[in-house]
Amino acid sequence: MTTEPKLSAGAATPRWQADPILSVERLTMRFGGLVAVGDVSFDVGRGDITALIGPNGAGKTTVFNCVTGFYKPTEGRIVMRHGAGRQDETVRQLTDSGLRWKKEGDSGVFLLERMPDYEIASKARVARTFQNIRLFGGMTVLENLLVAQHNPLVVASGFTFGGILGLPSYRKSEREAIDKAVYWLERTQLVDRADDPAADLPYGAQRRLEIARAMCTDPHLLCLDEPAAGLNPRESADLNALLKFIRDEHKTSVLLIEHDMGVVMEISDHIIVLDYGVKISDGDAESVKTDPKVIAAYLGVEEEEDIDVPEVLEDVVETIGEVAVGSLQPDAKGENRGGDK
């Protein structure tokens, strides 16, 4: 099934079509007989906040794991681009040649389905956070951010000796790494906790630290798996502000999985909706939240069922727009379609 991206009336060509930083093309992921993701395609606009949403078990994390190299897709192509435009000719050349990436100056094309996860992070510059927080709990908050910058520091140390001897070039890189860490600690309101073990931070602060750590790697694309999970309303508002800052001031593209529709509808430029492993809607917030297929998926109405959309629409849009959708995650049939992460 193909679902063409939708825009609200009067909108111009969206960035995700004109200038996609990431294109997921006909992605399929099977686990034995289970099709977790089936023939899914979508684009992520450069400089956009893009949300991937859907009920439990819809396939969101599986898509994330394919994009970030934790899974090798069964089928499909995942194109990451540095520099403006679709770069179709380079994508075609790479696909035909069997090579993994091509970089020229500030431009570059990376076929992520061919790359191991460490290359996706270091070369394609895709950073991610996890549904279950994965910090180095015994290290301090500052150390967590310095570890994230390990690669440039190792290079600056000339692979050890420059660091041991304290050469000026290494000291300069070390200073820069600390400055960058402090910058992100300030942006995430964690400066006062810099010397505390990461495990001692409250939950919401640990989530912000994960984002700070990812940003210390200077990603072109930041992938966040349920960043608002477990946050209180105040922390969710802070998260919204942080993600808008990352988009607007750092021009970093963001792709997030999120169940909190308050967060999704407020900050997303573009929303893709999955259900049972297929894409059911794709467009801006306005078009997605009024899409009958989305409403049916969240409320568990069978597609063939003749729902009276105008009658229920107002209530449902209000619900999807305002509720932290924990209560909507299991569908109306009472099924929990997901597994633990």
Ligand X SMILES: Nc1ncnc2c1ncn2[C@@H]1O[C@H](COP(=O)(O)OP(=O)(O)OP(=O)(O)O)[C@@H](O)[C@H]1O
Residues forming the site for ligand X (CB under 6 A): 31, 34, 36, 54, 56-62, 338-339
Nearer to ligand X, 3 or 173 (CB): 3
Q: Which is nearer to ligand X, 62 or 129 (CB)?
A: 62
Is residue 150 a contact partner of residue 180, using CB atoms and an 8 Å limit?
Answer: no
DSSP assignment letter at 191? G
Residue 148: CB minimum distance to ligand X, A: 25
61/236 with CB nearer ligand X? 61
Which residue sits closest to ligand X, CB atoms considered? 338
- Measured CA to CA, the distance from residue 144 to residue 135 in angstroms comes to 7
For 139, residues 6+ apart whose C-beta sits below 8 A from its C-beta are 147, 197, 198
Kindly state the smallest distance separating residue 85's Cβ from ligand X, in Å: 31
Q: Residue 87 region, left (φ>0) first, then alpha (ψ -120 to 50), else beta?
A: left
Helix 233-250 vs helix 203-215: crossing angle, to nearest 10? 10
Buried-exposed string 84-108: b where 16+ CB fall within 10 A, e elsewhere: eebbeebbeebeeeeebbbeeeeeb
| Nearer of residues 79 and 328 to ligand X, judged by Cβ | 328
Shortest Å distance, C-beta 274 to ligand X: 6
Query: What six digits make up the tokens of 128?
Result: 């991610």
Q: Choose between 74 and 95: whose C-beta lies nearer to ligand X.
A: 74
CB of 36 to ligand X, least distance (A): 3
Alpha-carbon span 123 to 68, nearest angstrom: 12
Q: How far is the CB of 99 from ligand X (least distance, A)?
A: 29
Q: How far is the CB of 26 from ligand X (least distance, A)?
A: 17
Residue number, 62 or 173, with CB nearest to ligand X: 62
Select 36 or 80, whichever has its Cβ closest to ligand X: 36
Q: Scanning the structure block, which residue is given the tokens 């270091």?
A: 122
166 or 326, CB closer to ligand X? Answer: 326
We find the least distance from the C-beta atom of residue 286 to ligand X, in angstroms, to be 23
How far is it between the farthest Cα atoms of the chain?
A: 74
Q: How far is the CB of 66 from ligand X (least distance, A)?
A: 10
- Burial environment of residue 6 by CB neighbours within 10 A (0 to 12, 13 to 18, 19 or more): middle
Report how far residue 181's alpha carbon sits from residue 335's, in angstroms, rounded to the nearest whole number.
43
Token pair, residue 271, equals: 């929303």
The least distance separating ligand X from the CB of residue 336, rounded to whole angstroms, comes to: 8
- d(C-alpha 281, C-alpha 60), whole Å: 13
Residue (26 or 92) nearer to ligand X, CB: 26
Name the E strands within 197-288. 221-225, 253-257, 270-275, 278-283
